[in-house]
Every structure is written in C-alpha cells, then in structure tokens.
Amino acid sequence: MRLLTSLCVLASVPASPAQAEQPFGWTGIGHPSAYALAPGEFELSGNLLRVDDTIDFLNLRNDLLAGNQRLVGNSGDLDGRGGELRLGVWDSLELFYRQTGQDLALNIGPVSSADIDNLDTQLRTEREAYGVKWVFFESLNQDLSQPWTSAALELTSSQNRSDDFGGDLAGFRFSATGGVTFDPPGRFGLDRLRDEGWGARLLFSSALNASTTTTAWAGYGQTEASSGTSWDIDVGFFRDAFLQTFDIEESQYRLGASVNWQYFPRLPVQVGYEYIAITDRKQTIKRGEGSLSRLIPSFLNGGGLAESETRNHTVYGSVNWWVTPQIYLGAGGKLFSSQFTGIIPHYNNPLSSSFSDITYGYVELKLGVKFSIGAGR
C-alpha cells in the first residue's frame, strides 16, 4: 500500500513535456522492446501477483496438488508484490531496476518417520534485477505518434534469495513402538537458498501498422545457484548426517517474441512468448556419510535429487489503461510450462524441484506512473 500511495503522489507532480523515444501510449514495464525512455523521463510501477483457491489460474493450483503427494492444503498459493523503475539517463540509453517478493505456500503432509513441530508453510523469495538498455539503431524521420523500427542491446544482473524453510525436529520413529526424542528439539531445514547471474539480449522492434508493433529478442546468460540442509543440534554425528549442499552452474538461452496492439491509443494490449533453454548444467551434490543420512525427511533428502527440467515455455498477456497521460492501471497473467525453471535457479533443491516440471501461472494487477523530470531532447 505504501508503494501504491507513493506512485499516486509522484503522479501528481506536474510533468514537463518530453519528446519520447518510445511511441505514444506505450507501456514499457513488463513488456520487452527495443525502445528507450527519453533523457529525464521515467516510468515506475507497483504490482500484485496472486494465486489462491478463488484465483486459480487455469486450474493449475489443483494440478500441482494432484501431481505431488507431499503437498496438502493451500499449497501452490502465491502472494507476490513488486515494482519496477525505468529511467532515461542519456540519449538512447536507459537504466532499469526490478524487485519482486513472493510467498509460495507449501504445506507438507505428515512425515511418518519424524516428529516435526513448527514446520514452515511458505517459501519466501526476493528477486532483484538491474541493468541497462542501449538503443543502437532507430529508423530515420520517425513519427513519434506511431511505432518505428528500432534495435537495442540489454544487459542485466540478477539475484534471488529465499528464506530458510524448515521446522523443529523433536524425534524419530523407527517403528510403532520405538524411536528417539530430542529435548529441546533442534531446528532443521533447507537453507543457503540463493543464486546470481547475468544476461544479455538483443531486441528488435518494428511496426506492422500504425497500431500494431512486434518485438523479437534473443539472449544468453549464466547463473550460479546454491542451497543445502542443516540441523542445529549439539549431537555431532546427527548434525553431520543432515549436512547437504546442492550447487549448480548453468547457461541459459532465450528466444522470444511479442505483440503490442493499440487500436485505442490509451488501451495497449500486450501478449508475448519466451522459450528458455538451460544448457551446460553442472550440478554438485554433497551429502552426509553413513546410514543416518536416510533419517532426513524425504522432502529435504537429496538422495533422489535428479536433474530438473531444462526447458520452459512462458506466455504472458496484459491490458493497460492510461487513466491520465501520466497514470495507468493494468491487469494480466503469466503462464509457465515448467513453473520457475530458468527464472529462479536455486529452486533446484529437493523441496521445490519436485514440482519444477508442473505447469503454473498467476494473475497480476498493476499501477504505474510515467513522466519527465526535465526537458526532453
């Protein structure tokens, strides 16, 4: 709410007229293009992402539950919020920053071999990306009221972090009558969840007609990701048995295309598709030695961790309405054929990799502002 309030306050500032480097009515946030903002012009948005039993995008939440015997309850619900800033800093040069926080509900069913208290119910992830876009080609004598041909290079640095996911382990059950208890219980869980990487892509935008613009892009990037498990208990051989690490290095190739349709100048409709291919993956798994490692609850045990999905098809669509020349409201959705594969690399761990090949999607609401803080070129 504070972010949305700030956007409204910013929008009330008188805007200086600027000669835009992107077509009239264009919504650049969340929609790849080879256009950039004019120097001193910026676009800022805040958005909400949601999946629940009422907003179950294409019934995908239920499909996730049906395909995973470990998850129960409201698993698959998503509560996200974020923002993005684009700033024109030089002729044909733009800086951008994106931030998203999301809570993915994961309710684990009863574990027959262990007594677990206070088990977490959400995987909380913060995503950040920042970079620069340089428009190195524009067609001559363009009419700023209509789209034109343009080409750009975009460089991005990104990182993702997730909070620990675990609970208090109070004991093990070896049989109906035998077991071992721990007093006080020791905190155990999935931790060190993080990744970072970089990417580069070339974008090309061109007009089909006065109201329809297409954009195509191709990109390459590299990422490193890590995660692991641990148990905070004084007994050394138990603690060592629970210590696991999961590290990966991978390369990513991306191909995509999109369409921006503005039959009504103040109501742009945008749809797009991107294909993500992961190659050169190097996965390193280290696990505790000895028979005690089998005591790790199955949803965190790396013994069966296999190579996760390496392909993802993503589709998105949005409709935005320019309420005023500076304020717009938007609604849309995004669909992934393999959930967050290629988007959050550190999800390749025993917990979240178990549903990495599940189709998933969410809906989005957006509020944005756009204006100039100085004279245009």
Residue ranges and CATH numbers for the domains of the chain are 2-318+332-337+346-362 (2.40.128)
pLDDT tens sequence across 38-71: 999 999 999 999 998 777 656 666 666 666 667 8
d(CA 262, CA 208): 12
Residue 29 per-residue DSSP state: T
d(CA 133, CA 31): 13
d(CA 220, CA 200): 6
CB-based burial of residue 49 (10 Å sphere; 0-12 exposed, 13-18 middle, 19+ buried)?
A: buried
DSSP reduced 3-state for 206: strand
Chain mean pLDDT for the chain: 86
Which pLDDT does position 124 carry in this prediction? 97
Element (H, E) at 9: helix 2-11
Which pLDDT does position 4 carry in this prediction? 44
Which pLDDT does position 42 carry in this prediction? 92
CA atoms within 13 A on the CB side of 359: 12
**CB-based contact 360:329 (threshold 8 Å):** no
Least trusted range by pLDDT, from 11-25, 198-212, 264-278: 11-25
pLDDT tens sequence across 231-263: 998 777 788 888 999 999 999 999 999 999 999
pLDDT-derived band at 78 (thresholds 50, 70, 90) equals very high
d(CA 251, CA 271): 26
Share of the chain above pLDDT 90, in %: 56
pTM above 0.95, yes or no: no
* Cis, bond preceding 39 (omega within 30 deg of 0): no
Strands (E) across 177-326 are located at 179-209, 212-232, 244-261, 269-286, 311-322
Please compute the mean of the pLDDT values over residues 202-223 and round it to a whole number.
96
Which pLDDT does position 57 carry in this prediction? 58
d(CA 130, CA 350): 29
Whether pLDDT at 350 is above 60: yes
CB-based burial of residue 121 (10 Å sphere; 0-12 exposed, 13-18 middle, 19+ buried)?
A: middle
pLDDT tens sequence across 266-295: 999 999 999 999 999 998 988 876 667 777
Least trusted range by pLDDT, from 107-121, 261-275, 322-336: 107-121
